[in-house]
């Protein structure tokens, strides 16, 4: 995992946001001074949610979500370090390629592709996704582990399962297998 020093972070304001009124409240839209940390080749934690949190589209149409995700990853590569899908939101940790910090463009494509596909099946749907998403730039290995644990324990937190390993829409099994392989490699290298 590549974690950049703070001096390597650039910030980009989001475009197209309204001005703030004299009271300090955005006029019907998000605050305009919001900035995203852009770290080329960085690792990020994301939360992405449906517009209507009562819907279960992410699991009821998981094949469409997987196709949108895979198509985006083929055209705009990134490495998924951890992921969990819940009925109405998802959490993911991505590492972007060196020199690339466009996670927003990738999420835009995933959202557009999934929305288009799910509307073919459920044409009466309104807005599918919340317009924004939450992101956090991973600072170091401890920060990564904290967020990976959060991702994998989320189904337990929401009461879907008692043990995180029992949730089928998670990368936890792959994550555990990778950790075991890494431990074996360390053991093999010791005298």
Would you name the residues annotated as active-site residues?
169
* 3-class SS letters over 16-42: CCCCECCCCCECCCCCCCCEEEECCCC
The answer to whether residues 127 and 25 touch, using CB atoms and an 8 Å cutoff, is no
62-75 helix and 103-121 helix, angle to the nearest 10 degrees = 140
Query: Cα separation of 3 and 42, whole Å?
Result: 6
- How distant is the alpha carbon of residue 191 from its chain centre? 40
Residue 13 CB neighbour total at 10 angstroms: 10
């Amino acid at each position: 995992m590549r974690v950049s020093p703070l001096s390597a972070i650039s910030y980009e304001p989001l475009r197209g946001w309204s001005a703030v009124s004299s009271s300090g409240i955005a006029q019907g839209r998000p605050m305009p001074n919001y900035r995203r940390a852009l770290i080329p080749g960085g690792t990020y934690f994301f939360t992405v949610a449906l517009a209507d949190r009562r819907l279960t589209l992410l699991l009821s149409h998981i094949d469409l979500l997987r196709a949108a995700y895979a198509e985006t990853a083929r055209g705009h590569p990134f490495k998924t370090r951890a992921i969990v899908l819940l009925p109405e939101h998802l959490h993911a940790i991505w590492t972007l390629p060196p020199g690339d910090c466009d996670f927003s463009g990738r999420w835009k494509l995933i959202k557009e592709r999934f929305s288009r596909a799910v509307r073919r099946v459920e044409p009466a749907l309104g807005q599918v996704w919340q317009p924004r998403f939450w992101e956090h730039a991973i600072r170091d290995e401890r920060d990564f582990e904290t967020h990976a644990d959060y991702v994998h324990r989320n189904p337990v937190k929401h009461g879907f399962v008692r043990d995180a390993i029992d949730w089928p829409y998670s990368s936890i099994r792959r994550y555990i297998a990778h950790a075991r392989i890494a431990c074996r490699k360390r053991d093999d290298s010791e005298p």
